[in-house]
Amino acid sequence: MCKLAGQMVSWWIVVAMAMAVFKHDGVDGVFTEPCSSTSSNCTALVSYTAPANSTLAKVADLFGVSDIDSLLGANDFNLSTPATLALSPGDFLKVPVTCNCINGTRQSNSTIYEVVAGDTLSVIAGTTYQDLITYQQIAAANGIVDVNKIQIGESLVIPFPCGCNPLPDQPVVYLAYPVQSGDSIANISADFGAQMADVLSLNGIVNASDLQVGSVLEVPVPACQASFSQSSVDSGLLVAEGGYELTAAKCVQCICTDAPQLRCIPTPTSFSNPCLATLNCANSSLTIGEITTSPSSTGCDVTSCNYEGYLPGNDNAIISQVVNSTENQCPVIPSLTYDIPAPIGKYPLPPAAPTPGPTSSTSGAPAPASAPSPSSASFCIPSLMSFLVPLVLAIYL
């Protein structure tokens, strides 16, 4: 049932790709993705380089990001990072926006800007939003006829270009990126882990040397996509590589370190009610995301407790299941990232381990490796991983 649905989705991806080639709309190289009123929304990313005196909260406010956790997650800042965190000028951030279908093209509409004294549409487009958009696009989206007439206090929708269409070969999250001098298609692609050929074709660039400073490229950032059961609220959860998202009423943190492998573990802050009751797999001592291995005569028995989504309703019932498999060799057990110390006495968790990722601005110094605590399972820990805290979740409740 789920498989069949998956195949239909893939088929639609192919159809959508065939129908929706990104086109430049003639305005300064800005791309557009066609869509129809039945197209669903998605989360896209836009680029932002911190100016002087900026903080995470100011960036969230500027872009209409209502949940600071989604800004933390998109940039792989740990969950204990305060919103007041001062950014250094030049810090690069990926800001999540909601990408919708408006007037037949993809645009974000989650950013509302309130005009202040001294603003002009070109200052707003060029300086405030760093050329992610043109003043003509702001004018069009807000029905502004005379571009020289804007009122202090007026609220403007800032419709960033964005995309939702999956690529045929891999899940992606689109990042709008204004080209800067010194950039090349190769550099931009490498920086975000995108395929150069995809960046060229999506943006309608025939000759890579034709890159225009100031044009906004759509960069398909590789992503991890969940295939949870269809009944789950977050069944198709999509997380861009190098970040995480919180789901299941923030009880679960789904991390995308190496696309397309999504890894879901309990959110550090979830070790309190009401999450606690639902974080173990049924009839198992294993917690979501936990893996145990045990060498056997035929290879290695691997048991994992997998997060499979959550059901709508007040209790946010989490779906999970134990999966057993036999491997030739014991796999490397990924470290669980707990960046907030768990309450003492409940979960004897290791200290934080760094989350590797392209934009890892997070994790501070690698946590000291801690000795594995006694456990019924034997763990296979390669020595090169010893700088990471091995997964040693011995949970005896």
Name the token pair of 217.
């490229």
Burial of 143 (0-12, 13-18, 19+ CB in 10 A): exposed
> What is the length of the chain?
397
Interface mask toward ligand NAG for 367-386; x: CB under 6 A: --------------------
The smaller minimum CB distance to ligand NAG, of residues 215 and 382, is found at 215
CB 140 to ligand NAG: min, Å: 5
The smaller minimum CB distance to ligand NAG, of residues 103 and 168, is found at 103
Instruction: Compute the Cα dihedral for 316, 317, 321, 322 and give only its sign.
Output: positive
Q: Which span sits near ligand NAG by CB under 6 A: 1-9, 12-20, 197-205, 358-366?
A: 358-366
CB 32 to ligand NAG: min, Å: 11
Residue 8 engages ligand NAG in binding (rule: CB under 6 A): no
In DSSP notation, 356-377 reads --TT-----SPPPP-PPPP-SS
Q: Are 65 and 48 in contact (CB under 8 A)?
A: no
Burial of 212 (0-12, 13-18, 19+ CB in 10 A): exposed
For 226-375, where are the E strands, in sequence order? 238-240, 243-247, 252-256, 262-266, 291-296, 299-310, 318-327
The smaller minimum CB distance to ligand NAG, of residues 18 and 117, is found at 117
Residue 283 engages ligand NAG in binding (rule: CB under 6 A): yes
Side-chain-side CA neighbours of 396 within 13 Å: the count stands at 5
Q: Are 339 and 346 in contact (CB under 8 A)?
A: no
CB 1 to ligand NAG: min, Å: 18
Residue 362 engages ligand NAG in binding (rule: CB under 6 A): yes
Q: How many residues line the site for ligand NAG (CB under 6 A)?
A: 32
Residue 103 engages ligand NAG in binding (rule: CB under 6 A): yes
CB 281 to ligand NAG: min, Å: 8
Name the token pair of 323.
């999966």
Residue 128 engages ligand NAG in binding (rule: CB under 6 A): no
Residue 120 engages ligand NAG in binding (rule: CB under 6 A): no
Query: Which residues contribute to the site for ligand NAG (CB under 6 A)?
Result: 40-41, 52-53, 78, 80-81, 98, 100, 102-103, 109-110, 140-141, 143, 182-184, 187, 207, 209, 282-283, 303, 322, 324, 339, 352, 362-364
